[in-house]
Every structure is written in structure tokens, then in C-alpha cells.
Chains A and B, each alone.
Chain A
Amino acid sequence: MSKLCTLLAVSGVALAISSPAFAETVTLAAYSGIFQDHYTKAVVEPFMKANPNIKIEFYGMPNSAQMLGTLRAQKAAPQIDIVIMDVSVAKAGTDEGLFDKIDESVSKNVADLYPAARAEGVGGVAVTFDNLVLLYNKEQVKTAPTSWNALWDKQYAGKVTIPAVPDIQGTTLTIIANKMAGGDDYKKSVEAGIKKLGELAPNVQTWDPKPDVYTPIANGQAALGIGWNARAQVYADTSGGKLGVVLPQEGSGFQINMINLVKNAPQSAAAKTFIDYALKPETQAAFTEEMFYAPTNSKAKISPTALSRTAAGAMDKMIAIDWIAVAGIRDAITEQWRRRIIPLSR
């Protein structure tokens, strides 16, 4: 037994001293898949070139909830320094005391962020803006739709794919539909939107597209759908012209990713250096050019081509969604969907 203990202790020490090939290794948790590919290329690799003594370990996870779960499990001894996650999940994490506050003392760039980049009661600040878009298969929908109303068109019955609530794409669509149906403040009631989505339900092929919403539309299994702009733009480029992306005339809503500093992070100082870099106008511009997330830094200079593929040119049409307030009504919206929308599609 004591031999085993010695062995474990020795290998533990060996592991501890073998890892820092660089002076400091910062672990960054964020979305896996194409986000990881493009963020690594446009942000992480240039950062490491500029800061040769800091190594960024990208720890990809499929969604924000899983990141929160990992942080919860590591609360006593965090292994992750920085996490990029959805604003409402970041709020839950802040409430549980998982994050430190990011302000001007962490990064001077915080002062240049758009007002929407800061959310009350969230430790982190916004690092990307994304928005809901209308997706269509260019072979099945010949003329590019201009309105969300295309989803309600009977000619596409059984060909529409919608990620339903609790996915926040469904939540965003509820708020948009509520505005289209003449509903008032979505924070008070989404009744009009729920009714309108009930009329959409018979058209829906699946409420749970797999592996994501972009693939079945690109390969023709579905004709229309909704998704996030940044990913849609990337898939539109790689789909060989089959996936079309439209920001409809009625406008859309933003999804916000916050960058958060984990409380008691092992490499806090180096992590702050990275956060400062991630919020810089040049970095923000580079990532927008790479993946079409709208920048959160107001001083970021973006080329007109890239800018036209984000919602930055249509700010007046966008619905300001207060995700912190939505978190409070999300359960009620989910309940309405399950009782009054999804059953109408059976």
C-alpha cells in the first residue's frame, strides 16, 4: 500500500513538473467545432505569436451548459482560466460566484465596448455578437426570401426545421414572432408570438435538427430553417452554394457570448493578458473577418464585405433582447411551446 502511495506521489510530481513547457499555460474553454477552428486561427494563434511565454490551451465543449457544469465541478480547484459562454449562462455562473469581474482594471479595452456588451450582474463582458437568421436551401427555394413569413408558407409544409425551446434559437424566434404579430413588450407577454408560432407548427419537419440546423438545409433534407448568422455564413461558404442566409426585413435579435475570468484561476495574470487581447479592436476585427460575428468593440475597423455579412449594417431593425430578463421567463416560454406549439405539429 505504501509503495502504491509512493508511486502515485512520484508520478504526480512528474506530471506536475513535466507540463509547463511554456512559462504559463492558460486554459480557455469555449465552443468546440467550427468556433474552435476559426477562433484558434484568428485569435489564439496570433496571440501566442505575440506572447511567446504564454500558451493557450483551447478546451472545446459543445455548449455553454456543459461549460458551466465543468466549472461547478471544479469550483474548489479550478483548472480553467477563461470561459467564453452565452450571456444567460454566464449570469448563472456569476450568481454562483464562479467568475471575477472584468472591468477597466483588467483591460483598458472594456471602455471602448458597445453598451450592449455589458450585462447587469454578469462578471464578464461580451466578446462576440451573433444574430438569428433565416436559412434556406437554394435549390428548393428559388428566390431568396426576404421575410420570416417564408417559414409560414404552406408550400414548404414538412420542409421547415426549427430548433425548439429550450434552445435559445427558439426563444429568439418567439420574440421575433411576437413583434411580427403585433405583440407589445415580450417581457410582459409573448402570447401573440406563441399564437403565431402555433400556425407555423404544421409546417415543421423537426424541432430538433441534428447534428445542427445547417446540415439538413445544406443537403436538402429541409428547405427552410433558422440559425445563427456566424455559423450560417461559414457553412454557406463551405456548402457549395446550397445554403442561403438572409437577415429578414423584420429584423432579428442578438445572441451574446461573454468572455469570463474564472475566480481563483490558476493563471490569472496571463489570463487577463489574453482577455485584453481578445477585446482589442484589431482582434475583434480579425475574428469578424474570419467568422462574421459582429464585433463588441466600437473601435474595431471591419471591411465592408465582412460587415455586410453581419447584422452591424442593420442595427436599427434589431430587437434589443434583454437575456437576463429572458432567463426569468424562459421556463414559462418553454411551457407554452410544449403545450401550445409542438403538439400542433404532430
Chain B
Amino acid sequence: MSTAAAAHPPYSMPRVTLGRAGTATLLLLPIALVNAMGFIVPVLNLLRMSFYEALAGGGIRETFTLASWSGLFRDAFYVDLIVNSIVVSLSITFATLLVSYPIALYLHRSSGRWRTFLTVLVISPLLTSAVVRTYGWIALLADQGPIVGSIAALGFTPPRLMFNTTGVVIGLTEILMPYMILSLLAGFGRLDPRVEEAAMTLGARPSQTFWRVILPLTVPGIALGCLLCFVLAVSSFITPKLLGGGRVFLLATEIYDQAIVTLNWPLAATLSMLVLIIFGAALAVYARVLRVIE
């Protein structure tokens, strides 16, 4: 009697079966709605704004003109600006990769409490805002700062480390390091210590092991980290603004100037769309890299 009741519970909830596709749609619906309202609609607005006409003094006429777009490619300043943004962002990405890779590799190989401690150490800079860290760099790189001071004390003429591209690259490299390290770690899954041991057993020198075994196995992590850092570097605004000294013209700072100072919203919108196109291109390159290594 009692076993029968347990096998067939008298009260059972009415079941609604949705099927896999239905469940997936239902689960995706909230985020799709949020994204549509918080991202797609504003981007479409921006796209429409980029075809408005900018009047002298900050006015906007709601018409359809290609003036902002064509002006971008006819004006050497903007061509330079775009090239410069990409080159500077690529340099920052490369520098970040170079300094983060050894740290990530060491972290990947460590274990236990030590690994937890180091991971917390890597993530801890993210607890401080980029503004505060940038002001920290201003104190370090200033003309009266410790770095310039030590170079001068050694008898060399110190180079200018701040208010130029050098300062922007130094500042952003440090600020983006946690993202790079975490992405590298996430992509190091295929790196099995036994493979390295096998290479050594077969007589490979440490450098050979690195170039022919470790590096190829960590490409997914490198690709992910570079994509993330490049995108963050192109869109970063506060660090170039504070460390660039008005000499470094980048897309993000120019968008700010056009939107907030000159009040040329159509041009600001056009530049924003251009940043989106650059992101699309970066994603395409990333997808291609992943396809090649698969």
C-alpha cells in the first residue's frame, strides 16, 4: 500500500513540456530583451545620428547626409587618428601579453594555497578604479617622480614618460594586465604538464619545449587575451585622457571631445560606429585564429 503511494504520488504538478528549443528561447528571452533595449536601440540611434547634419556651434539638423562619414576619410587628421588608435592599441595589447604571459604560466603551474594567493594578487588591482590607478601612474611618471629621478641620478637624460604616447602605453598596459592574465589562464586548459615532460624526455631543450610545445598549446588563451585587451584598449578613455597630455589623439578621446566639448554629435556618432566596426574586425580575426588552430 505504502510502496504504491510512493511510486505514484497522488498529487503531481501539471507538467508543461516546452522541448529543448522552447526552454532555450525562454531562458534567452530576458537577456535578449535587456540587450535590445540597452544596446541595440541605442546603437541604432547612434547610427541614425551619424547621418544627421552638424551645424556650426553645436546644432544638429535632422536630415540625411553622408558629410560626417565622408569627412572622416577625406581628412588626413582622422585617417591618422584611426591608424594611430589601432597601432597604439596593438602595441598595448602586445606589451600586456609580453608581461602577462610568464605570470599566467607560473600561476597555471602553481597549486594549492599559493595559487589562490597569487590569483587574488592578480585580480586585486581590479578592486581599484582605473582612474585611481592612472593617478598613481601620474605620480610615478611625473617629471619630479621617482622613475625620472632615478634615471637622472644615473647620469642619463630622462625621456619624457608622461603626457605622450609612452605614458598612455605604460598606464594602459598595467591596467589591462589582470584581464590578460585571467584570459590566458582560461585558455591554458590544453597545457598538460605531461606533454612538457614528454618533450623533455625526448631530448628537447627548455627553449625548444617552449616554442614547439607550450606556445602552440596556449594559442587559444593568447587569442582570447589579445582580443579582450585590444577591445578594451581601443575603447579606453580615462587613461589616455589623463596620461596623454592632449598630444595623443585616439578614437575614444576624440569621441569625448566631439560629443562633450565641440558638440558635434553626428561626428561623435560616426566615430562610435567606426569603433564598433573595428571591434567587428577584431572579432573576425579572433574567429579566424581559432579556426586555424582547431
Query: What residues make up the interface of A, taking CB atoms closer than 8 Å to B?
Result: 63, 65-66, 68-69, 88-89, 91-92, 95-96, 158, 164, 166-167, 205-208, 210, 220-221, 324, 327-328, 330-331, 334-335, 338-339, 342, 345-346
Chain B residues with Cβ under 8 A from A158's Cβ?
143, 160
Minimum CB–CB distance from A25 to chain B (whole Å) comes to: 28
Q: Find out whether the CB atom of A65 lies under 8 angstroms from the CB atom of B260.
A: yes
Task: Decide: A208 near B55, CB < 8 A? Known: A63-B260, A68-B263.
Answer: no
* B244 contacts A328, C-beta separation under 8 Å: no
Known: A338-B249, A345-B247. A65 touches B261 (CB 8 A): yes
Compute how far the CA of A283 lies from the CA of B59 in the bound complex, rounded to whole angstroms. Answer: 32
User: A65: which B residues are within 8 A, CB to CB?
Assistant: 58, 259-261, 263
Asked if B25 is at the interface (CB within 8 A of a chain A CB), the reply is no
CB distance from A210 to the nearest CB of B (A): 5
Chain A residues lying within 8 Å of B247, measured Cβ to Cβ, are 207, 342, 345-346
Contact B59–A338 (Cβ < 8 Å) = no
Q: Closest A-chain residue to B77, C-beta based?
A: A338
Which residues of chain B are near A335, meaning CB under 8 Å? 77
CA distance A96 to B246 in the complex (A): 31
B42 within 8 Å of A (CB atoms): no
Interchain Cβ contacts under 8 Å between A and B, 23 examples:
A63-B260, A68-B263, A88-B57, A89-B57, A89-B263, A167-B261, A207-B245, A207-B246, A207-B247, A208-B244, A221-B142, A221-B143, A324-B57, A327-B56, A327-B57, A330-B56, A330-B57, A331-B56, A338-B77, A339-B77, A342-B247, A345-B247, A346-B247
Check B262–A210 contact: CB distance below 8 A. Answer: no
Contact status A92-B246, CB under 8 Å: no
Cβ contact within 8 Å between B261 and A166 = yes
Q: Which 4 A-B pairs have the closest CB atoms?
A: A207-B246, A208-B246, A327-B57, A92-B58
CB of B197 within 8 A of chain A? no
Interface residues in B67-113 by Cβ distance below 8 A to A read: 77
- Give the docked Cα–Cα distance between A342 and B160 (Å): 16
- Give every chain A residue within 8 A of B249 (Cβ-Cβ): 338
Residues of A within 8 A of B59 (CB): 92, 95-96
Nearest CB on B from A198, distance (A): 14
Closest-CB distance, B83 to chain A (whole angstroms): 15
- Tell me if B163 is interfacial: C-beta within 8 Å of chain A: yes
Most buried by A among B143, B144, B249, B261: B261
Which residues of chain B are within 8 angstroms of A339 by Cβ–Cβ distance? 77
Q: Is the interface of B mostly helix, strand, loop or mixed?
A: loop
Closest B residue to A89 by CB, please name it. Answer: B58
Provide the residues of chain B in CB contact with A95, threshold 8 Å: 55, 57, 59
Nearest chain B residue, comparing its CB with the CB of A201: B247
Whether A91 and B57, one on each chain, are in contact in the complex, defined by CB atoms closer than 8 angstroms, is yes
Nearest neighbor of B76 in chain A, beta-carbon distance = A339
Additional A-B contacts beyond A342-B247, A346-B164 (11; CB < 8 A) = A63-B261, A88-B58, A92-B58, A92-B59, A158-B143, A166-B257, A207-B245, A207-B246, A220-B144, A335-B77, A342-B246
Please tell me if the beta carbons of A205 and B245 are within 8 angstroms of each other in the complex. Answer: yes
Flag if A328 contacts B57 (CB, 8 Å). yes
Interface residues of B in 239-259 (CB under 8 A from A): 241-242, 244-247, 249, 257, 259
Q: Does B122 contact A (CB under 8 A)?
A: no
Q: Are B57 and A205 in contact (CB under 8 A)?
A: no
In the assembled complex, B186 has its CB within 8 A of some CB on chain A? no
Q: Are B262 and A334 in contact (CB under 8 A)?
A: yes
What residue of chain B has the Cβ atom nearest to residue A335's Cβ? B77
- Across the two chains, which residue of chain A brings its CB closest to B264? A331
What is the chain B residue whose CB lies nearest that of A328?
A: B56
Question: B241 contacts A205, CB within 8 Å?
Answer: no
